[in-house]
Amino acid sequence: MILAAVVTISDSVVAGRREDRSGVALKERIEARGWSVSWYDVLPDEADVISAKLSDLADVDHAQVVVTTGGTGMALRDVTPEATRAVIDREIPGVSEVMRSEGRKSTPLAALSRGLTGSRGTTLIVNLPGSPKGAVESFDAIADLIPHMVDLLHGKTQHEPDASAVSKQKLL
């Protein structure tokens, strides 16, 4: 079972002017996959606060996966990618490219998402858009990759042979 954390980044939710629908939708989607959400909260669009929480979730709470929602757009207060970049060890750009590519099938605005994916130690950190639809669609676009990425980050690098490749080899 994967141990995940969900972090909503939103000044308006923190201030009580808006309800958090994205974080709740992600939490439900993650749990529907049979994974456990060990931590869920809302943070303001403050880079130092976001970086500190991501570091704690990885280093202290040992979440295997941290998904953030919000703060990935082009507004001046959207600082989630910068806060994430400050704490990750390695970026995994292909994963974010998959999310944007899939998102473009629903809206051309998906190209404006600046979210990134990376690792800190053995923790995978993924930035998702702030809209409920965009967050869930982006998560769904990469969800099947997450268990493999978690395995790799935890040193499980042995790959099972592809069944079709094994069958072809037996025929030769």
Summarised one tens digit per residue, pLDDT across range 41-81 is 999 999 999 999 999 999 999 999 999 999 999 999 999 99
Classify residue 111 by burial, with Cβ atoms within 10 Å: 0-12, 13-18, 19+.
Answer: exposed
Q: Is 14 helix (H, G, I), strand (E, B) or coil?
A: helix
Mean pLDDT, residues 165-172? 54
How wide is the angle at C-alpha 59 spanned by C-alphas 55 and 60, nearest 5°?
105
CATH number where 33 lies: 3.40.980.10
- Which phi-psi region, left, alpha or beta, contains residue 139 (left: φ > 0; alpha: ψ -120 to 50)? alpha
pLDDT at 165 exceeding the cut of 80:
no
For the residues 14-26, what does the mean pLDDT come to? 97
Provide the residue range defining the domain that includes 7. Answer: 3-171
Q: Is residue 168's pLDDT more than 70? A: no
Other CB atoms within a 10 A radius of the CB of residue 171 amount to 5
* φ/ψ of residue 32, rounded to 5: -65, -25
The count of structural domains within the chain is 1
**Cut 0.75: pTM above it:** yes
pLDDT of residue 159: 72
DSSP labels for 19-32? ---HHHHHHHHHHH
Strand-strand pairing, 65-69 and 123-128? parallel
Mean pLDDT of 131-140: 96
Stretch 29-49: mean pLDDT, rounded? Answer: 97
What DSSP element (H or E) covers 8? strand 3-9
